[in-house]
Amino acid sequence: MAVSMLELVQVLSSFEPPRVDLRDAPWERFTDWSIAQGLAPLAAYNLEYRLANARVPEWVRDRLLSIYQGTANDNVMKLVNFKRAVDELEGRRVVLLGAATFAEVLYPHVAFRPVIDLRVFVPRGDVDAFANYLRRSEFRPDTASVDPHKADRILTDTRTFLFVHGALVGDLAEDEGLLTRATPLKVYGPSLRRLELEDALLLQALLLARVGFEVPFIELVDLRELVLGAPSMGGVYSRAPDVDTVLRRAKAWKGERGLYAALSLIERLFPHARDAAARLKPSLSLPVRELIDRVVVAPVADLERTHAFRGEEALRALLTG
């Protein structure tokens, strides 16, 4: 029996892919899709080093491997340049978010997770000061670009976009809690930090929900590894998330619907993460659960979908309460 698109994605997005015969897989569709969805580098590694005898067309291997090599070089360039820009900054609180953090703490190799742009969180009153500080590293304001996550400042050095947030949750006390709980990220200098695991998981779910889950598939892989507690690593996120903490903060952030939708997606897409995701799901009324499952989870989990959601604003309102 031919391997389906979903089965192929599950195999090639795994850090421990099972050995299967992939000769009849939908390679024409998967190859272009994986590149657009940020999954190509991880898929390339799995095909080259974990599934060498899986009967995959040579052109697929060659194309994906070129993406892997390009991603490795691009990630290193961006992260080294960012380190140079901030490693002398002292006495500030700058939290590195998203791909730049995940590539190092969730993925066994930094090349597995493309770092397309950089995103940071600073105290609300430090946004302008931080943006001005980065001018010394050639980061300049970009007023033409639009960020779906509504960063307070968008900067670029012509090679990398840097999104600066002065608020994430929308509540001053909760945002301060994020900053206070964040732990040192000394490799980038004395002012840099990363979110606590529970905050990283919940914020990832919240950001996905805010854009109606119209995101590259790799961001769901990020969430999967946060839910599982980065079992392939051995670092700061390699532990089970505390359920009570996640649920309590989800309620305080008014993010229970978004968290429910995000975890339901993890359950559908990644069978080995179902139990871990189920433990973290908030309790919602049956009508709300059924509505989210029908209008959000089912369409997003359909990897054959070729069109965007209709009624995006209504969808976002549903997920963010």
Range of 296's domain?
Answer: 196-321
Closest by Cα among 307, 285, 310 to 295: 310
Q: Residue 86: is its pLDDT beyond 60?
A: yes
Closest CA to 222 of 248, 241, 200: 200
Whole-number CA gyration radius for the chain: 20
Q: Is residue 30 part of a domain?
A: no
At 90, the amino acid letter reads E
pLDDT tens across 55-78, in order? Answer: 899 999 999 999 999 999 999 999
Whether 255 maps to a domain, the answer reads: yes
Distance CA 116, CA 38 (A): 9
pLDDT recorded at residue 54: 77
The answer on pLDDT for 306 being more than 90 is no
Q: Does 126 map to a domain?
A: no
pLDDT digits (tens, 9 = 90+) for 146-194: 999 999 999 999 999 999 999 999 899 999 999 999 999 999 999 999 9
Residue 311 has pLDDT above 70, yes or no: no
Supply the pLDDT for residue 307: 61
> Is the Cβ–Cβ distance between 43 and 12 less than 8 Å?
yes
In a domain, 148, yes or no: no
Residue 162 placed within a domain = no
Q: What digits encode the pLDDT tens for the residues 97-134?
A: 999 999 999 999 999 999 999 999 999 999 999 999 99
Give me the pLDDT at residue 43, please.
97
**Per-residue pLDDT at 23:** 86
Report the SS3 class of residue 12.
helix
Domain count, the chain: 1
Q: The sheet that has 118-121: what strands, in order across it?
A: 140-141, 153-156, 161-165, 118-121, 94-97, 192-194, 183-184
Report if residue 267 sits inside a domain: yes
Tokens read off for 258: 């978004």
Give domain status of residue 155, yes or no. no
* Structure confidence at residue 308 (pLDDT): 58
Give the CA distances from residue 223 to residues 58, 78, 82, 207, 264, in Å, rounded to whole numbers and listed in that order. 31, 22, 24, 11, 11
Mean pLDDT on 24-31? 94
Q: Is residue 54 part of a domain?
A: no
Nearest to 100 by CA among 84, 83, 85, 87: 83
pTM of the complete model: 0.95
Query: Which phi and psi angles does 123 have, rounded to 5°?
Result: -55, 145
**Span 206-246, pLDDT tens digits:** 999 999 899 999 999 999 999 999 999 999 999 999 999 99
pLDDT at 209 (0 to 100)? 94
Q: Residue 224: enclosing H or E segment and its boundaries?
A: helix 218-228
Q: What are 44's two structure tokens? A: 């390339």
Tokens of 271: 């069978």
Structure confidence at residue 20 (pLDDT): 85
Strand (E) or helix (H) holding 120 = strand 118-121
Q: State percent of the chain over pLDDT 70.
A: 95
Q: Give the Cα separation of 237 and 234 in Å (integer).
A: 8
Q: Which residue has the tokens 């359950």?
A: 267
Integer angstrom CA distances of residue 290 from 125, 266, 269, 296, 308: 41, 16, 18, 10, 21
CA distance 52 to 19: 9
What is the pLDDT at residue 194?
Answer: 98
